[in-house]
């Protein structure tokens, strides 16, 4: 990856040299720097762009207190740490809809699709898995933003993640008429009981502890012990 970045930088340098005899100027996240610094920070680079229009160059000259027409081109580098993060909302004017319903509809869908891992049952692993996830502007759950907040074991959290990643498309949320990224928290309770039946009877389930997290009722997944 680092080598590819160097090739990209040198290719851009060659383009700039062809257009002008002047050595190109470099900046990382808007700060002037040398080529050596660019090489040192190669692993941090997210994108590279050449700026050569006079109006933008004039703005850079003012920013860096240079003489007018001092620049012919600037190689602008943006690092991963400086990427613009889109706002994630907890509540918006129009909340995302799942299959025409709300988060409770999604809870029921998860309940129908989650499976108690056999290995977890044999080891009698149980407890609460709490995850957060984001419904993007395209209506899909962003796999990169699924975050396990709490889990008694990776076997259980992996199963919850598997189901979330297989979610059908939602109707995305909107804030002031604009598409918005909306974040949810979902608790899932895995419990092994000495029974001959597996049940998902959400209405009749009881627990000694609180049945909700942030106002969202827990999904109960029950399996029989061996």
Domain boundary among 82, 102, 119: 82
Residues 117 and 164 in one domain: yes
Domain boundary among 48, 63, 82: 82
Return the higher-pLDDT residue of 19 and 101.
101
Residues 21 and 117 in one domain: no
Residues 148 and 162: beta-carbon distance below 8 Å: no
Q: Given a cut of 90, is residue 69 above it in pLDDT?
A: no
DSSP-assigned letter for residue 124: T
Residues 96 and 191 in one domain: yes
Q: Look at residue 179 in the predicted model and tell me its pLDDT.
A: 94
With the C-alpha atoms ordered 100, 106, 111, 115, is the resulting torsion angle positive or negative?
positive
| Mean pLDDT over the full length of the chain | 78
Q: Output the domain CATH number for residue 188.
A: 3.30.2420.10
Report the C-alpha gap between 91 and 197 in whole angstroms: 39
Residues 100 and 78 in one domain: no
Q: What is the pLDDT of residues 110-124, one digit of tens each?
A: 999 999 988 988 888
Residues 169 and 129 in one domain: yes
Residues 194 and 132 in one domain: yes
Residue found by looking up tokens 């056999």 in the block = 118
Mean pLDDT of 57-77: 80
Report the C-alpha gap between 100 and 147 in whole angstroms: 25
Q: Look at residue 84 in the predicted model and tell me its pLDDT.
A: 57
Return the higher-pLDDT residue of 226 and 82.
82
Largest CA distance in the chain: 83
The range of the structural domain enclosing residue 100 comes to: 88-224
Mean pLDDT of 164-183: 94
Q: Given a cut of 60, is residue 217 above it in pLDDT?
A: no
Residues 11 and 78 in one domain: yes
Residues 99 and 171 in one domain: yes
Residues 147 and 204 in one domain: yes
Residues 212 and 142 in one domain: yes
Residues 96 and 42 in one domain: no
Q: How many domains does the structure of the chain reveal?
A: 2
The pTM of the full predicted model, rounded to 2 decimals, is 0.55
Q: Which of 1-5, 9-13, 30-34, 129-133 reaches the highest mean pLDDT? A: 129-133
Q: Given a cut of 80, is residue 224 above it in pLDDT?
A: no
Give the ranges where 64-172 is alpha helix by DSSP (H): 103-113, 118-122, 154-165
Mean pLDDT of 5-33: 61
Domain boundary among 38, 60, 82: 82
Residues 136 and 214 in one domain: yes
Q: What are phi and psi of 191, to 5 degrees?
A: -140, 130
């Amino acid at each position: 990856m680092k080598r590819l970045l160097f090739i990209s930088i040198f290719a851009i340098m060659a383009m700039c040299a062809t257009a002008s005899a002047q050595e190109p100027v470099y900046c990382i996240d808007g700060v002037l720097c040398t080529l050596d610094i660019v090489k040192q920070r190669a692993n941090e680079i997210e994108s590279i762009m050449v700026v050569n229009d006079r109006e933008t160059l004039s703005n850079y000259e003012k920013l860096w207190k240079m003489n007018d027409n001092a620049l012919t081109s600037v190689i602008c580098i943006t690092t991963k740490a400086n990427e613009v993060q889109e706002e994630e909302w907890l509540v918006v004017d129009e909340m995302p809809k799942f299959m025409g319903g709300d988060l409770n509809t999604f809870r029921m869908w998860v309940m129908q699709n989650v499976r108690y891992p056999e290995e977890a049952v044999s080891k009698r692993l149980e407890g609460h898995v709490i995850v957060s996830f984001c419904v993007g502007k395209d209506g899909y759950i962003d796999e990169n933003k699924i975050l396990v907040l709490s889990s008694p074991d990776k076997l259980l959290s992996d199963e919850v993640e598997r189901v979330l990643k297989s979610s059908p498309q939602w109707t995305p949320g909107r804030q002031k008429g604009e598409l918005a990224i909306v974040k949810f928290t979902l608790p899932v309770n895995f419990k092994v009981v000495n029974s001959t039946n597996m049940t998902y009877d959400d209405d009749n389930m009881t627990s000694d502890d609180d049945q909700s997290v942030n106002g969202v009722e827990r999904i109960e997944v029950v399996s029989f012990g061996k």
